[in-house]
Structure 1
Amino acid sequence: MKNIAIIGASGFVGSALLKEALNRGHRVTAIARNPEKITIDHPNLIIRRGDVMNPDTVKELVEGLDAVISAYNPGWTNPELYRDTMKAYPSILEGCKKAGVKRLLIVGGAGSLLINGVRLIDMGVLEETILPGAKALAEILYSLRENEKEIDWVFFSPAANVAPGERTGKYRLGKDNLVTDAEGESKISVQDYAVAMIDELEVPQHHFERFTIGY
Structure 2
Amino acid sequence: MNIAIIGASGYVGSALLAEALARGHAVTALVSNPSRLSPSEGLRVVQADAQSPDGLAARLSGHEAVISAFSGHAQEDVLGYYLSGMRSIIAATKAAGVPRLLVVGGAGGLEVAPGVQLLDTPQFPAQWKATAEGARQALALLRDETVLDWTVLAPSAHLEPGERTGVFRLGRDQLLVDQGGASHVSLADYAVAMIDELERPAHSRTRFTVGY
- With the length of structure 2 as denominator, give the TM-score of the two structures: 0.97
| 2:59 alignment partner in structure 1 | 61
Give the TM-score of the pair, scaled to structure 1: 0.96
Q: Does 1:14 align with 2:6?
A: no
- Find the residue that maps to 2:124 and give its secondary structure: coil
Q: Could you list the per-position Cα deviations for residues 133-161 of structure 1 after superposition, in whole angstroms to 9, with x for gaps in the alignment?
A: 1101101112211x112110001100000
Q: Aligned partners of 1:169, 1:52: CA distance in 2, in Å? A: 31
Look up the match of 1:127: 125
Q: Distance in 2 between matches of 1:110 and 1:34?
A: 27
Residue identity over aligned pairs, in percent, reads 45
Q: Distance in 1 between matches of 2:125 and 2:166?
A: 29
| Deviation of the 1:77 alpha carbon | 3.9
The secondary structure found in structure 1 opposite 2:44 is strand
CA contact (8 A) 1:59 1:96 kept: yes
1:99 maps to 96
> Which runs of structure 2 are paired with 1:198-213 in the superposition (5 Å)?
198-213=195-210
Of residues 113, 116, 121 in structure 1, which corresponds to 2:113?
A: 116
Structure 1 runs of 4+ with >6 Å offset = none
CA-to-partner distance for each residue in 1:145-182, whole Å, 9 max, x for gaps? Answer: 1x112110001100000000000000000000001100
Task: Give the aligned residue type for 2:44.
Answer: I
Q: Note the alpha carbon deviations across 1:65-100, whole angstroms, 9 max, x for none.
A: 0000000012x2422111101100010000000000
Displacement, 1:7?
0.4
Task: Give 1:128 deviation, angstroms.
Answer: 1.4
* Per-residue CA distance 1:25-81 (angstroms, 9 max, x = gap): 000000111221112x2221000111011111111111010000000012x242211
Partner of 2:177: 180
Q: Which residue of 1 aligns with 2:76?
A: 79
Aligned length: 211
Matched residue, 1:153:
150
1:27 maps to 2:16: no
Unaligned stretches of 5+ residues in structure 1: none
Q: Which of the residues 152, 161, 164 maps onto 2:161?
A: 164
